[in-house]
Structure 1
Amino acid sequence: MAITAAMVSELREKTGAGMMDCKKALVAADGDMELAIENLRKSGAAKAEKKSGRATNQGKVLTSIKDGKASIVEVLCETDFAAKTDKFTNLVKTVAGNTLALDGEGDVTEAVNAAEKGNLTDHIGVIGENMQIRRATKWNASEASVFASYHHMDGRVSVLVEVEGETDPAILNDLCLHIAAFNPKYIAPSDIPADVIAKEKEIAKAADPKLANKPAEMLDKILSGKINKFYTEVCLMNQPWVKDDKTCLAKLKPNLKVKRFVRWEVGEEL
């Protein structure tokens, strides 16, 4: 059967594969469009298998928020060039959106990988690079909570946050910007494990030999001061605010409760 340019274009539109790959698939299928699609998918699986051992340290982190649900996913590829393409960006957006429909809450990486296996394989065949869904989280909102997100550097760093209480779009945007910029480890001092506090006190004492001979009462006051400074470094509510370093979120919005947040950066250590 003669393969026309219109047939090649139709197959490319349906699969996203390259023009030459589409033409070869149609020739091999003698013009049978469905068989050509099947063959391209099989070819994509074969390509994916060959590429599976190649390093992936570029990619995007994107979020999706809809109908009281929120997700954040990290998808990796091999090169920054591929990460910036519309095809890859649309893949990550699709994965984030599909994650909202999955059961469960919290870490859903395993379920997302299972659900997106065919989609990922198809895109590996089209884009020509190894890819992996590295991690995925899904949240379900409580009745009173609100989600917000922010993508920095086109998804190189992304933030997802859930809040309750006094809020508005401006403060939510600034909150996400703050988390992206300052990378807090905890929401408030009460969230810091006791062993972490104890370790910080131990480090403070060791860093200043003069403290060794201080009376116990004076030493406690000095260490309390150092721990309060530590809070301003690692706690979201206590860090100098992104828009005004003379205040902090706890003072700026005392009636805003941050329930949880994540800040993911492409390729960071987990």
Structure 2
Amino acid sequence: MTITAAMVKELRESTGAGMMDAKKALTETNGDMEAAVDWLRTKGLAKAAKKADRVAAEGLIGVAVSNGRGVAVEINSETDFVAKNADFQALVREVTKVALEVGETVEVVKAADLNGETVEQVITNAVARIGENMTFRRLHVLEGDTVVSYVHNAAADGLGKIGVLVALNGPADKAQEIGRQFAMHIAATSPLSLSEATLDPSVLERELAVQTAKALEENATSAKPKPEQVIHNNIIPGRMKKFLAENTLLGQAFVINPDLTVEQAAKDAGVEITGYARVAVGEGIEKEKEDFAAEVAKALKG
């Protein structure tokens, strides 16, 4: 497979690796981008790449909570100009309210009534009125004894670029108080799962493969190599433990008090975190990049 300059550039931007290292990684893996990331990590030349860092889209997340039920809605727009539009913000807020009442899936909410029309028709009307394509893309529903919400980079009350919901069991007053701190923590750290038990097994398998290859290679080139049983019984398990501590919510160091894990902080407060959702605008959407001048020129022509 031909390795293009664009592929090398993408790999460099996502991993921070040097140009020659990125090119070699792609060559060794026949252009497979994910395998190239793992190859670089095995060689100690890159950190784990987060796909979210390589995608973008505009729009807003709307969050709402009532009586132990919370929803986070994502509605996308083509440009950030529209995301700041009061009409668009009102649309997201109204759809979020409907979702809180009836939502289980995006399709159910689209078919629900909003001021005498279906939500889908209201969005279609907004597209015609505002002059830009919009997509009701995602809905997350979370339930628990107490559900707390938080919006990061808020554009208005309950609207922003990142929406977080946290479900907790325990005394409602304590759950509300510390629940918001947990929600802010989740917005900042973006954990992969609540705990090891809920982590996608394929993620663990991939990380184990990377850490095993990395540890064996480091040992092979070390001036004082360790016995292989030490590598498998101590070093690799230690690195996997660190990975879980950094990437599972309950295992992470609590940003408010890094001396405690989130799990311990919850226990100290007399509550239990039973679930969470973190929704960021544009996750998983590839957006064609263009420079700002070109974007403005396009808008003016339109």
Asked which structure has the greater CA Rg, the reply is 1
Equivalenced residue count is 209
The answer to whether the aligner puts 1:260 opposite 2:275 as a matched pair is yes
Matched ranges for 1:48-197 at <5 A = 57-102=57-102, 105=104, 108-115=105-112, 116-139=119-142, 141-142=143-144, 145-154=145-154, 155-165=160-170, 167-197=174-204
Kept in 1, the 8 Å contact 2:74–2:137? The answer is: yes
Query: CA offset at residue 111 of structure 1?
Result: 1.7
Instruction: State the AA in 2 paired with 1:267.
Output: G
Query: CA offset at residue 242 of structure 1?
Result: 1.3
Kept in 2, the 8 Å contact 1:205–1:211? The answer is: no
**Aligned partners of 1:110 and 1:160: how far apart in 2?**
21
Kept in 1, the 8 Å contact 2:146–2:176? The answer is: no
In 2 relative to 1, CA 193–264 (structure 1 residues): closer, same or farther, beyond 3 Å? closer
**Aligned partners of 2:237 and 2:108: how far apart in 1?**
45
Query: CA offset at residue 194 of structure 1?
Result: 4.2
Uncovered stretches (5+) of structure 1, i.e. residues with no partner: 1-55
In 2 relative to 1, CA 67–134 (structure 1 residues): closer, same or farther, beyond 3 Å? same
1:216 match: 229
Kept in 1, the 8 Å contact 2:251–2:262? The answer is: yes
In 2 relative to 1, CA 253–138 (structure 1 residues): closer, same or farther, beyond 3 Å? closer
Kept in 2, the 8 Å contact 1:211–1:219? The answer is: no
Matched ranges for 1:17-56 at <5 A = none
In 2 relative to 1, CA 102–260 (structure 1 residues): closer, same or farther, beyond 3 Å? same
In 2 relative to 1, CA 241–124 (structure 1 residues): closer, same or farther, beyond 3 Å? same
**Aligned partners of 2:148 and 2:260: how far apart in 1?**
22
**Aligned partners of 2:218 and 2:123: how far apart in 1?**
59
Instruction: State the AA in 1 paired with 2:185.
Output: H
In 2 relative to 1, CA 84–193 (structure 1 residues): closer, same or farther, beyond 3 Å? closer
Residue of 236, 248, 260 corresponding to 1:235: 248
The answer to whether the aligner puts 1:225 opposite 2:241 as a matched pair is no
Uncovered stretches (5+) of structure 2, i.e. residues with no partner: 1-55, 113-118, 155-159, 221-225, 286-302
Please give the secondary structure, in 2, of the residue aligned with 1:125: helix
1:3 match: none
2:34 match: none
Once the two structures are superposed, what CA deviation does each residue of 1:149-198 show, in whole Å capped at 9, x if it has no partner?
Answer: 11111211111121112533331111010000000011112222444333
Instruction: State the AA in 2 paired with 1:241.
Output: F
How large is the RMSD of aligned CA atoms in angstroms? 2.2
Larger deviation, residues 148-157 vs 186-195: 186-195
Query: CA offset at residue 126 of structure 1?
Result: 2.4
In 2 relative to 1, CA 240–118 (structure 1 residues): closer, same or farther, beyond 3 Å? same
1:246 match: 259
The answer to whether the aligner puts 1:206 opposite 2:213 as a matched pair is yes
Could you tell me the TM-score, scaled by structure 1's length? Answer: 0.71
Instruction: State the AA in 1 paired with 2:239.
Output: K
